[in-house]
Amino acid sequence: MSDMSEMSVQEAYRVLQANCGIEAGDKVKVLRAAKTSEMGWGYGWDKKYSKHIGDIGVVDRITPNDNGFYIVFAHDNIYAPFFVLELVEKAKPELPSIVIAGSKVEFHDDHIRVCGIMVPNATLRNILERLEN
């Protein structure tokens, strides 16, 4: 590709997708259905995806080439191109895990994981209150 005039629609799609500001972990809203191959999108809109128009999901990953984003909802998932999505909330940066007495502690939005056991934030608050009293 020597200049922009030789860029295919699929290549243009990939450039726009890479620069749309949406990343894995972000929350997005589905605004409308996409047409198959619209604007170089390489994946077809399945009619069952339309039930998610207006819904907010989480971008699990950016699919290779021009397939768009893989978006996860509570009980379903879809592939969608950037141009039918609205960024609702950027992903929070993950806190690095720490090791205490040889056990890995992972931090998540609503819990921590210690030795493979999930401890909800409410339980952590209860523990802290007991330690402070």
0.85 exceeded by pTM:
no
Number of domain units in the chain: 2
Do 81 and 119 fall within a single domain?
no
Q: Give residues with Cβ within 8 angstroms of 61, minimum separation 6.
A: 24, 69, 70
Nearest of 94, 30, 17 to residue 58 by alpha carbon? 30
Q: Do 52 and 111 share a structural domain?
A: no
Residue 5 CB neighbour total at 10 angstroms: 6
71 and 9, same structural domain? Answer: yes
pLDDT in tens, the chain (133 residues): 445 568 888 888 988 998 999 988 899 999 999 998 899 898 889 999 999 999 999 998 888 777 889 999 988 999 999 999 999 999 887 788 899 888 888 887 777 888 778 788 889 999 999 999 8
Q: Can you give the residue range of the structural domain that contains 19?
A: 4-89
Q: For residues 29 and 85, state if they share a domain.
A: yes
The tokens for 1 are 């590709």
Residue 16 tokens, joined: 């726009």
Same structural domain for residues 29 and 78?
yes
- What are 120's two structure tokens? 């909800």
